[in-house]
Structure 1
Amino acid sequence: MALMSFSWAAFAQPANDLCANAIAVTAPSTTPGTTVNATTDGAGTCNTSNTAPGVWYTLTPAITGTVQINLCGSPYDTKLSVYTGACAGPLTCVAGNDDFCGLQSQVTISVTAGTTYRILVHGFGSATGTFTLTVGTIVPAVANNDACTGAIALACGQPVTGTTVGATADAVPTCVTGLSTAPGVWYSFAGTGDLVTASLCGSAFDTKIGVFSGTCGALTCVTGNDDFCGLQSQVTFTSVPGTTYFVLVTGFSANAGAFTLSVNCVPPAPGSICTTALPLACGPNVTGSTAGGTVAAGLPFCGTTLTSARGIWYVLPGTGNDFTLSTCNPGTNFDTKLGVFSGSCGALTCVVGNDDDFACGFSIVRSTVSFSTTLGVNYYVFVTGFGTNTGNYELSVQCCAPPLAVCLPNQTIVLDNATPVTIDVDGGSTADCGVESIVQSAVNFDCFDTGANVVTLTVTDVNGLTSSCTTTVTIISTFVATEVGCIGDVNVTLGADCSARITPGMVLTGNNLACAGNVNVTVDGTTSDVISGCGPHTYSVEILEPVGTITEFRNSDWVLTQDLGNGGCAAEFAITTLTPAAIDLSIRYGEEVAAAFTAPYDGIVSFDYDFNGADQFFDFLIIDVNGTELVNQSMAGTGTVNQVLMAGQTALVRIEDDDFCGIPAGSTDVTLTAFSFSSMEQVVAYTCWGNILAEDKTAPDVVCPANTSSITRNYAAQIATGRLEATDPLLNLNNYSCFTDIA
């Protein structure tokens, strides 16, 4: 009885003897089994006859591709048949095999994701036995839309499912994110002018998405995204009617998997995209929310990146004024960014952008930009957020006339001493929004600035916008050295660079040497005043004098050109005298008198004027032969005027009173006296020369001998030779051309 019981258990009917009781297997897998005590199935012939008992298995693949199923290595003569369809029939043969690996069987079949395949293991003739069923790894099928040229057409509102498993990576350009490292598949759709959102949210792997226009052979990036909803991707953009768009679904790094792609199309809301930008102008603040905006993924960098958060667009017509836009207002409640562009919505050019306004009193994570506008040019303003921030904003627009730098006319300053003069060239600069600063490139001038000096004046308004102008300040030095003599031998200590500049005060005796305009020092037969290197040098000095100087004017130097008399005012008069010593032009109220002077050579004419406390409306002018005012001392009191005249140039000197008739009690004459004319041309009047002995008293750079920590002996170095005498030969002096005694 015990033996009979054992035999019954060993040869019991298999649980999967019937098709309806098939055991599910996966790919890949290895499953042992037996056909002993199974029944013969009436499944019909499937590439091989069905005569022996058999058992059933099912395979439902997750992906489409090809898979190998075999019984190789099993210990009896097997057969293998694969069907689709229901067990109740009819079953459809997919593949069958008798002998592949010896007397054992194998098939390779194409499978479709989600389809159930019924596998029958049976034998040759009536053979039964144990076996091992091996299901290999499914090799994914290459999708028809693996290449751009096979893109599958999409329609708005109709999601599609698919997989990138088995696809190949595509060599496409970067489109906001890199898209060429993982397998990808392609879709296409025709633009309608709507706002399009293509989303992979909810897909089963770490995705990326790219949208292109153009052709498969010449793709142009429209937008792209890596992570939008977790590790999945989404893009929003405005489609152009009639344009074909190609959508690439791919993965991060080498990721691949199943996905769901949805495409939704809605008409764009006002301000959500550039082409529906809201109007903006100077005036009251505007408010809104970026939550209803879109991500402008393709925007160029503009002071900051503007491609990660939703935003709202405005269009602001240029007026020629300076604009300041700011979210630094109480109605803003999130971390903002601002970008301003010119051009067109399809080809925007950055003007200015900002992330954080550190001067904002509400919060530094607000944004402010300032820029100059051109009349007739539209400026596109994008209000967005840092990262993916969205929220409410209050945008202010301040419009100001640009700052205007105004410079005084060119000036000529005559220096007759070494004291610097301060020159302010600001002629009334303005800034509509308020002046932040006015900066002048040079303010103080002395005789070392002789000649033309271009001075730049820059005015900056409170928004950081600037304007500049220039004025030329010409410095003429009449400061002359007197009683000059050369010092025969001069000792000079060189600087750290082994050179020294030789100034008049170092080699001359006399007066006014510090800033003399008539002294020219040169060294060693060159045109330079700088010596280089130790040892002996020579210098020479030239003392210059003007070609000529007029200190007493003659009657013939002046020509009286106008004397209007009393100008119709009773009991009033004008007095004009031309004396050998000077010209004295005296007038009273309602008068005008003028005289002309022609310069015999290039020089400077100097005038004293004294209005003697008379009416403030007296004016003193110097006018050249073309009618150009060289000097206009309006409402002047008392002072001196120095004016450069070129050889042959005639200056008309005029005193006029533009006041009413009538002489106040105790009034006096207004007088103008010309007292000198000095030539600017100089000739050598005196020369002298001498010798210079240059020494370097800087401590030498000493390198100690090997195996010593310090110098313990005294050494002497000769200036003439630069060699060490009677010293340790291992002691080196580096980078010096001459030396003094050292201790």
Structure 2
Amino acid sequence: MKGYKIKWALICILVVIFYITNFVEAQPMSPPSNNNCQNAMRIGEVINQAFNTSYATFDGTGHCTSSPNIWYRYTALRSCNVTVSLCGSNYDTALTIYRGSECFPEQDNMIGCNDDACGRQSEITFPATAGNEYLIEVGGFGVSIGTGVISISCDSEPPVNLNNDDCQNAKLIGNVTGLTFDTSNSTFDGPGHCLTSPNIWYIYTATCTGEAIVSLCGSGYDTKMAVYSGGGCNPSLNRLIECNDDGCGWQSEIILDVTAGQQYLIEVGGFGDNTGQGLISVSCEGSVPTSQSDLGDAPDSTNNFGRNMTAYPKGGPSGVRAHYPTVFNDGRTTGPFGPIHLNAQAVVAHLGKNITGENEADTGPDQDIT
């Protein structure tokens, strides 16, 4: 009888195990409450807040990741550099940040997409503007899922008042990538042809003849920008090359024809009265002029060594070497100043004239004298 009871007990245990295996575990676990963008969880500054994408599904546009994902909505309480970090998570993560809170965000509103900032985990730092909302998409590389932690911090250093608030103090720039700026404490200074918001000014000297791209893409607020010909302040309307509001999402971008060596005035502001932190990038694509030392000139005004150059007189020999060993004018009271022709007689004999009447080295045409 005792053995009979044991058999029945074992059978009951096996039935329970079979039921759990085939019915209980087969039931899918509920996805996280913030699995869908429409249900994005509001979040502030946190340290290592736990999350789990193991039972999530994909809900998004696929701009950065198409793995199972979850969503957060962050509102900046002050203008600062915000860092969103998944460092310390237990799987290979992917992270995307978008401007605004609208689902589903367009690619133009994507601030950043990151995979492996810290090992196999993700981290993004971006300039945020007080009161603005940002969507945070947390997913994985490929189809990776798992448990993780999210941390959000806001660098609370006060915005720096830039000295290029007024056009008269415009900052001189060349080709730059991601140069930071902040208009939070700026005032309006300008003609109002394009914008009347608080603004700052730059003067760009073209490094090529071709197309220049002036971009505020990646900035943390709704920008507006104007570019004028010339570097003088209080530009008239006929100097306005272009005014742009939304060249890339809410940010501005202008493509213009430029001439190497010419100056262009750049006015950076915001749509309406928007201000905030941003990035400016300038690039130039086209032909780059090369400075060639011509006959009788030295490479620069402080040259203290010789430079061998060859003259090709018409109808003469293949070339006559001209050697100018000490061509300089660096402010010293003693010379020589201007070209010293070690073989001037031979060169003059073939060119039929004195070489130059210049008294300083430069890269322009020779001032020949007969």
What TM-score, normalized by structure 2, do the two folds share? Answer: 0.45
Higher relative contact order (CA 8 A, sep 6+): 2
Indicate the structure with greater strand content: 1
What TM-score, normalized by structure 1, do the two folds share? Answer: 0.24
